[in-house]
Structure 1
Amino acid sequence: MRFRISAAVVTGAVVLTGLSAPAAQADEKPAGFSKAFAAKPQGDISIGDIKISDVSLNGGKPVIVGTTKEKKVTLTFKAIDNSGVNVAFAYLWRGNDPQDPQGFFFADSGEKDVKCSGSGKKTKATCKMTFTIDPSFDLSNTDAGGGWRVMAAAQANDGNVRAMYKAKSFNLNRGSQISINAAPEPVKKGKDLTITGSLTRADWESGKYIGYTKQPVQLQFRKKGAKTFTTVKTVKTGDSRALSTTVKATVDGTYRYSFAGSSTTAPVTNGGDFVDVN
């Protein structure tokens, strides 16, 4: 998988990019940058007074990836320095030690630096990068969950450098799907109504949605004319994916199943099934 990269590449990706000084300082700043890595290999790097703030990945939402469609996520952050901002660089990684990551993604720009917009003197420049995640190529199921980080770095026009290995944390979640069917329809008042359905989630290794077993799912109901759903009961998926329960039919309304999500799998709620009670 393309994000399985050695520690040497992770360190070298930053040291060897254009995050070095302008030509007049080329002999001085890159050496200082490399020295900072050697002195504090697991810590952030700070040379001069350049700052990074307002780091946002995917608008602050969890990154949810299905089975076949590529997922594009955008990273933005601000960089400020009194000499103006020159370039920026970023990647996504998983784990606690940036020198030994469990997973790794370069931006679509690869190992190249990017120019930030609005990099005038003493102003905050906006740095923006896009990452494309292909589940059929990039992911295995063990990659789902938390522990993912954003590494963000920027260089000022005077050669100042700031690199933050844990600038932001995020979850990488498996996509999910849920279905529902209420029967019989229509149903007589006071009779049993059987509510069935299924809960599945993306299997990144097979490229299919598979059953998510033994998970709590809420059965919810909204009376005809009402605006909100209320929870009727909690139902667990069976050994495959199946959901099934019975309720007494009382009034016309819509039933739906709602899954709150888990540490590895995205929440999902279906549109519901309207039931006419005679």
Structure 2
Amino acid sequence: MRIRATVAAVSGALALSAFVVPAAQADDASSSPSYRARAEQALSHINSSGSGRTAFRAVAAPPAPDVSFSNFKIAKAIKVGTSGSVSVAATYTLTHGADIDITSEDFANGPILYKGSSVDEARNMLFGEYPATCTATSATTADCKGVIEIDRSEDWLANSDAGTWSGGGLALTYSTRGEKVQGDLGKTLLQRTSKLTVNASPEPVKKGKTITATGKLSRANWEDGKYHGYTGQSVKLQFRKAGSSTYTTVKTIKTNSTGNLSTTVKASVDGYFRYSFAGTSTTPAVNAAGDYVDVTS
């Protein structure tokens, strides 16, 4: 079975259907639990009451495992497109009671990502299908690494989910169904993948004549699975002289209501034009591939 990220809360009516575990699956989890199934059940206990979201029911839980998470590290930004899957690793230190055997099949733990002001009010969560792997560093500490994979064919993300997400940890004891969730361990950006194009024309062009550079800045729409123009964004037109490896900024313009770009410059020497976007918290930086223009006398 491949690793899969799972969304723990989704918009509107989808929220309940996304996290109802069929009875047969629940029964199977009690006798031969998978980490993903138990993680879903554990995280669905979190009560989310964000605007426009369906709250999870809080239920009484057995005593939590005696563990804590620290030194959480994850990529600063995660780019997510409209298809395929994206894997991201997280590392952290697990501190546990002397009575917990981290090598036991009865115990598992892993990293989580959540969107919201706190883990108790998370409106969306992601985690891996398999638990983290841990290496003991003392009788009560271990270095752990887990993988979260975001699968766009299965995992729901709203466009409003782009931006800052928080890291956390989840620990499970299968036999007692004990669970421990700890949040606010770190930050990352979940970003909608961007695309940028450029076309400089005419080609060739006489020195001193006008070159028109057109292009488009677009980004992934997680809700309809397409790319749409990113409006009102500042983008730099840059030029690299033939034989040079350095681009310099010629001017800065903004995308229009459909994400399109258009501006003019005077032809001087042979070289490459490109558009460059610095990025935002919700959308990563991107450079268009350089478009060569031959300038004649």
Q: TM-score, normalised by structure 2?
A: 0.70
CA RMSD of aligned residues (A): 3.2
Counterpart CA distance in 2 for 1:15 and 1:134 is 20
Distance 1:73 1:115, change over 3 A: closer
| Counterpart-to-counterpart distance in 1, 2:97 and 2:197 | 56
Q: Are 1:65 and 2:80 counterparts?
A: yes
**Given the alignment of the two structures, is residue 33 of structure 1 paired with residue 64 of structure 2, yes or no?**
yes
Secondary structure in 2 matching 1:178: strand
> How do 1:74-223 residues align onto structure 2 when only pairs under 5 Å count?
74-80=89-95, 86=102, 87-109=108-130, 114=131, 116-121=133-138, 125-137=142-154, 138-146=156-164, 148-153=165-170, 164-223=182-241
1:243 positional shift: 0.6
- Give distance in 1, aligned partners of 2:223 and 2:239: 36
TM-score between the two structures when normalised by the length of structure 1? 0.74
Q: What residue in structure 2 maps to residue 43 of structure 1?
A: none
Name the residue aligned to 1:235: 253
> 1:51 and 1:106, CA in 2 relative to 1: closer, same or farther beyond 3 A?
closer
Kept after mapping to 2: 8 A contact 1:192/1:248: yes
Structure 2 counterpart of 1:55: 72
CA contact 1:136–1:204 (8 Å) conserved in 2: no
Deviations 1:116-141 (A, max 9, x none): 33215358633122212123442121
Matched, 1:270 2:288: yes
CA distance in 1 between partners of 2:198 and 2:44 (Å): 53
**Number of equivalent positions:** 239
- Alignment partner of 1:255: what SS? strand
213-222 or 127-136: bigger deviation: 127-136
TM-fit CA distance, 1:82: 9.0
Aligned CA distance change for structure 1 residues 12 and 54 (closer, same or farther; 3 Å): same
Asked if structure 2 preserves the Cα contact closer than 8 Å seen for 1:175 and 1:202, the reply is: yes
Q: Does 1:3 align with 2:17?
A: no
Q: Deviations over 1:192-238 (max 9, x none)?
A: 00001111110111111111111110111111222211111101111
User: Cα offset for 1:187?
Assistant: 0.8
The 2-side partners of 1:149 and 1:268 are apart by 24
Q: How many angstroms does 1:53 deviate by? A: 3.8
Q: Is the 8 A contact 1:141 1:204 kept in 2?
A: yes
Stretches of 4+ aligned residues off by more than 6 angstroms? 9-12
- Per the TM alignment, residue 162 of structure 1 is displaced from its structure 2 partner at its CA by 8.2
Contact residue 81 and residue 121 of structure 1 kept, 8 A: no
**Structure 1, unaligned stretches of length 5 or more?**
17-29, 35-46, 156-160
